[in-house]
Copies of this chain bind each other. A is one copy, B any other.
């Protein structure tokens, strides 16, 4: 199979760096353009990204030598465009690419909640991709924009899916302990996060609530009606480099049985597994039986594709028969961001949705 040419928009941030790491030797994709703000344009990628590289791998040589271009259609057009742009920039840049016929797989929040934009976790709601038809019709684009959810939402929604399908869900309370890398670069000052917890992340709680309901919603008559689940979230930043931990309390519709819940989670598979997509972990959900797992430092790279599985542990019943408690952990810049767009792109290619 000939590799598909791809561009990366917003290539120097924490998610952009991960995208470069995941895509530079991807079996299906071929990086032809790395784009960033004007400040960086014209310089070598190695020079620009090297100074703030945060990964324990070197900048891939073949990308390091590429010249960074502007985030414009003129300079960065490609059949497939990965966007790790800040939301305010994504809002006006991504449509230009979609209009020019590009398939934009975006990690930005700008369009996630638009009625005609698919918000996709490939294992959970691949059918929502059909919103593309509505999108093209309405906007007159030959390309399209497909989004992935917020990092916290992804980690939460993957295990919620099989539980929702099996038991129904009335109520979700979730308290998060989120990694520093989720705030990007420069992000949270070291002075403010060392020996500390910051109990607030701007906009995060609303995203968790709204995105989760959309993803678990039903596609009917080319519209998604959000799942009727009441969700409350409390988002905290903790001094952890990578990996979001979430303490989850669930009120289900029917009574839960812990052993069965574990089985349901363990056996959960989706389209990426069926299609054997390159970035699909064999098990989307890894159930841990140890009393003190998952832990971010130990489990964030879990999965046959490192960082793509969600680890779930401490599964136990609450103080009523239809309540369930669990702790989950997912890598916020891999499964929760860069890996998420890559998996979306792979799904669309497998579905023949990339022109």
Residues of A within 8 A of B (CB): 14, 50-56, 173, 175, 177, 180-181, 183, 185-200, 209, 230-232, 234, 236, 238-241, 245, 247, 249, 290-301, 313-314, 318-320, 323, 325, 327
Contact = CB atoms under 8 A, between A and B. Distances in A.
B54 A295 contact: no
A199 B292 contact: yes
A245 B241 contact: no
Contacts of A299: 56
A205 B295 CA distance: 18
Contacts of A173: 173, 249
Given A189-B187, A195-B194, A298-B53, A200 B325 contact: no
A53 to B, nearest CB: 7
A241 B194 contact: yes
Contacts of A241: 191, 194-195, 297
A232 B249 contact: yes
A46 to B, nearest CB: 11
Instruction: List the 7 shortest-distance A-B pairs measured between CB atoms, nearest first.
Output: A175-B175, A175-B247, A234-B247, A200-B292, A190-B193, A196-B297, A195-B195
Contacts of A234: 175, 247, 249, 314, 325, 327
Contacts of A292: 198-200
Contact of A194 (B175, B194, B300, B319): B194
A52 B185 CA distance: 17
B294 A199 contact: yes
Contact of A239 (B200, B230, B239, B300): B239
A190 to B, nearest CB: 4
Given A197-B245, A197-B296, A199-B314, 4 more contacts: A177-B197, A187-B189, A199-B327, A232-B318
B249 A249 contact: yes
A269 B300 CA distance: 36
21 contacts: A56-B300, A175-B249, A177-B236, A177-B238, A183-B191, A186-B189, A187-B190, A189-B190, A190-B194, A190-B239, A196-B240, A196-B295, A196-B296, A198-B295, A200-B314, A232-B319, A232-B323, A236-B247, A239-B239, A239-B240, A249-B249
Nearest to A196: B297
A247 B199 contact: yes
Contacts of A194: 180, 190, 193-195, 239-241, 297
Contacts of A192: 52, 54, 185, 190
A199 to B, nearest CB: 4
A187 B191 contact: yes
B195 A297 contact: yes
Contact of A297 (B56, B230, B231): B56
Contacts of A55: 298
A245 B198 CA distance: 10
Contacts of A195: 194-195, 239-241, 296-297
Nearest to A202: B291
A313 B320 CA distance: 29
B187 A290 contact: no
A12 B232 CA distance: 35
Nearest to A317: B232
Q: Which has the most chain B C-beta neighbours within 10 Å: A188, A191, A196?
A: A191
